[in-house]
Structure 1
Amino acid sequence: MTWSVWHVSPVITSIFFILGVFTLYQVVFDWLKTVVHEKKMSISDNTVKSLFGVIYMLVFIFTMQSTIVGKSISWEFMNFIVIALIFCAYFLNIRVPIYFFVPIILVYMVFNHSIGYWESWCHALTIMLSYWSFNYIQKHPTKSHPFIGYIIVGIIWGGIMWYFVALKFSLTMSVFLQEWGYLVIFEVLLYSYVRMLLHESELKGHLEAFANHDALTKSENYAAYSSEIKYLFANSLRNNLGLSMMMFDIDHFKHVNDTYGHLAGDKVLQKAVSTTQTVIDDNDPKVKLYRTGGEEFNVVFPGYDLPATEPIVSQIFNALNHLTVRNKDQEISFTVSMGVSGISSTDKTPDDFYNRVDDNLYHSKKNGRMQITAI
């Protein structure tokens, strides 16, 4: 219809169809990733990408083929199928072991009524080898021109696959060359389009990271803290879970800046963050550090009551109060004061919780500094 009515070549509509399929994939994947993050599920983005990618492409392949299965034209959607496999193998980098790949191929051959043809077995073997080839070049790309390796693999394996299809269906040489050429065009467009999508996704990730991280210390900032504490606070009250928080700041930090300069003060802040993060990483990665003010930092302990925080708090306190920072030919020593508290039934909002921890920090500073107030 598109050619006879609109005078648009089927290859043009095929291009828009393929691009639409992959755009839909990206939209749904972004939605799934957002849901996983919002619900704090312990599933990595890579796992979501792999599972959804396999399911999405299998549904796409079987749905497309179901419309022509068993017919003399059952080869017509092969380019779509190959492009879907390349998308999974190269762009999503989904590793499919042979014990998983072989059953899928066998089910597809039974579904497509092709299991009794030797050409179909050769074609299936070619598909598996091409998939693993795309996996390999994705992991070991040509450093200066990754596209060259990609397109060479695509042209070679695409030609071999179409050769076996041409044998099985007695296709003419012109049809064989035409379909092979279309596949190469699709591969080039897929590479360009997905690279554009990935670039936009990476840019979005960089912007999100910039918005939620402190530029100087690389720790998460107040915006990230504010978002996380709202969820943790509500989740703690709803499910009767422990939640504790420590706040610390550097004593007489203005004196450090005035005496040694602001660049020296920056080094002190960076050293305090890296030391604190090292202690946290050695104990429990679920504990999070945030820079919530100039020289003020909050450490949030999900699932901890107040006594359970004591070992980590003590380690951070001792580590920070025995630090020195070298600035040119000078050694700068500093101390910190801390306030710690657990969530209370009197806390109606996250700010109530924050203010009680802040009051404990103020108590430490008011009563001599370099101490911990935990109530």
Structure 2
Amino acid sequence: MTWSHWQVPPFTTSVFFVLGVLTLYWVTYNWLISWTHTRRINVTDETVNTWYGLIYMIVFVFSMQFLITGKSDAWQFMNFELIAVTFCAYFINIRISYYLLFPIGIVFMAFNGTLGAWQSWAHSLTLMGFFIVLSTIHTKFQGRRLVPFYYFMTIMSFGGLLWFWMKLKFGFTWPTLLHEWAYLMIFEALLYMYVSMISHDSQIKLQLAKYASHDALTKTSNFAAYTEDIEYLFNRSSQNGQALSMMMFDIDHFKHINDTYGHSIGDLVLRQVASTVQDVLTANDASIKFYRTGGEEFNILFPNYDVAATKPIVDEIFSAINHLEIPTKDDVITLSISVGVSAITTDDKAPMDFYNRVDRNLYQSKRHGRMRITVG
């Protein structure tokens, strides 16, 4: 920003303005993600990131440009536009087809009334290359030691070329070009540090959320996740009449396995069972939800399934686990499971009513010799 527009030191104003715009993006984006999760809207975080990030930055850039379109100092907001491109291409890695960049550039030039200026075409094509290279660095080199070097070399190279096109178009002096180029590098360095800090905090929060809802040993969802999901699915089923079934199983004689072979083998058994069940569910229907709800107890929720519809999958899980063999140092452990299955009914007034009925069916399987399925 410039002294003429703000009447305050431009660099200081620019820093706070850029950080404010980016902070507003993160706050609104996180609210939007939380909103979609709460309402269980069938849209991925990546899709929200792509479209919201693109719309947010386009509105930001066009709003800034609207203030100076057609003026002799229209170049003075370009660093903000470059920061917006950097943010979209590198930091939030918006995944749009590269051929869509060209029409966006055409619209922007038409908005500025510069379609007839060859420097504007050179600037737009360079800007597209800038976006593509930054996106490639994020995708191909993320996590490598030299990625900050690639980032800053890209900013320096493309930034210098982009400001050169602006010098040719507007005729400002070389010292002005160098001044704005240096400002760009400082802004991009601050952006890199700021977003890296925010991203680090976000990753920690994601890890904590994952630990809160997942079982560390088997990598399945845990009882806390089950409680949240059954509440939502039960209410949805009660209100809309949608089918909902549950399978509950535990590993037969698991205490004996732990006592005989040790807890390390017991943990191996749990991991193998969970992996086998997850493979079956993935091959059948990704919407089916799998949980470890106790020591050797597991629950599976079947949204939109009645009991008859669950039978092929339940039978496949039952057969797969009953054929599992776990080798030990001196022996081979042959596994079996006992299973209870039921569907929600109009008599169920709360999720616990549903759970208890499935649990009773599991108990019946164990009472009558184990390694069997009880449906009711």
Residue 100 (structure 1) aligned with residue 73 (structure 2): no
User: What secondary structure sits across from 1:290 in the alignment?
Assistant: strand
Contact 2:50 2:96 in 1 (8 A): no
1:315-343 deviation digits (Å, cap 9, x = unpaired): 11111112111122221123210000001
Instruction: Tell me the alpha carbon deviations over residues 148-185 of structure 1, each in whole angstroms, 9 at most, x when there is no partner.
Output: 00100100110111111111111111111100100011
Matched with 1:238 is 239
3-state SS of the aligned residue for 1:77? helix
- Tell me the distance in 1 between the aligned counterparts of 2:180 and 2:330: 72
After TM superposition, where is structure 1 displaced by more than 6 Å over at least 4 residues in a row? 1-4
> Is 2:251–2:296's contact at 8 Å kept on the other side of the alignment?
yes
Which residue number corresponds to residue 41 of structure 1? Answer: 41
- Residue in 1 aligned with 2:111? 111
2:328 maps to 327
How many angstroms does 1:254 deviate by?
A: 1.3
Distance change (3 Å), C-alpha of 1:305 and 1:101: same
TM-score scaled to structure 2, two decimals? 0.96
- 1:286 equivalent in structure 2: 287
Aligned to 2:67: 67
User: Displacement, 1:279?
Assistant: 1.0
Q: Does 1:16 align with 2:16?
A: yes
Task: Give the Cα–Cα distance (whole angstroms) in 2 for the partners of residues 279 and 99 of structure 1.
Answer: 40
**Separation in 1 of the partners of 2:48 and 2:151?**
25
CA distance in 1, matches of 2:37, 2:189: 33
Residues 179 and 3 of structure 1: CA distance in aligned 2, closer, same or farther (over 3 Å): closer
Q: Summarize the Cα distance change of 1:3–1:128 in structure 2 as closer, same or farther, 3 Å threshold.
A: closer
Instruction: Quote the residue 2:311 is aligned against.
Output: 310
Structure 2 contact 75–166 (Cα < 8 Å) conserved: yes
Structural RMSD (CA): 1.8
Counterpart residue number, 2:205: 204
How many angstroms does 1:122 deviate by? 1.3
Q: How high is the TM-score relative to the length of structure 1?
A: 0.96
- AA paired with 1:131? F
C-alpha distance in structure 1 between counterparts of 2:140 and 2:189, whole Å? 19
Indicate how the Cα distance of structure 1 residues 97 and 218 shifts in structure 2: closer, same or farther if over 3 A, else same: closer
CA drift at 1:42: 2.0
Alpha-carbon offset, residue 2 of structure 1: 10
> What SS does structure 1 have at the residue aligned with 2:95?
coil
| Residue in 1 that maps onto 2:168 | 167
Deviation at 1:41, TM superposition (A): 2.0
Cα shift at 1:101: 1.6
The SS at the match of 1:289 is strand
Q: What is the rounded CA distance, in whole Å, between the counterparts of 2:3 and 2:169 in structure 1?
A: 28
In the aligned structure 2, how far is the partner of 1:212 from the partner of 1:160?
Answer: 49
Rounded to whole Å, the distance in 1 between the matches of 2:95 and 2:40 is 26
| Alpha-carbon offset, residue 9 of structure 1 | 2.8
Distance (whole Å) between structure 1 residues aligned to residue 128 and residue 267 of structure 2? 55
1:133 — aligned with what?
133
Deviation of 1:113 after TM superposition, in Å, equals: 2.0
Aligned to 2:148: 147
Once residues 329 and 7 of structure 2 are traced to their aligned partners in structure 1, the CA distance between those partners, rounded to angstroms, is 75
Show CA shifts across 1:186-208 (max 9, x none): 11111111111111111111111
Structure 1 pair 195/73, CA: closer, same or farther in 2 (3 Å)?
A: same
What is the distance in 2 between the residues matched to 1:323 and 1:118?
70
**Unaligned regions of 5+ residues in structure 1, if any?**
none
SS at 2:75 equivalent = coil
Report SS of the residue matched to 2:226: helix
Over the matched positions of the two proteins, sequence identity in percent amounts to 52
SS at match of 2:18: helix
- Structure 1 residues 275, 145: CA separation in 2 closer, same or farther (over 3 Å shift)? same
Query: Structure 2 unaligned runs (5+)?
Result: none
Work out the number of aligned pairs and report it: 374
Secondary structure, in 3 states, of the residue corresponding to 2:172? coil
Give CA-to-partner distance per residue, 1:22-57, whole Å, 9 cap, x none: 111111111111122222222111111000011000
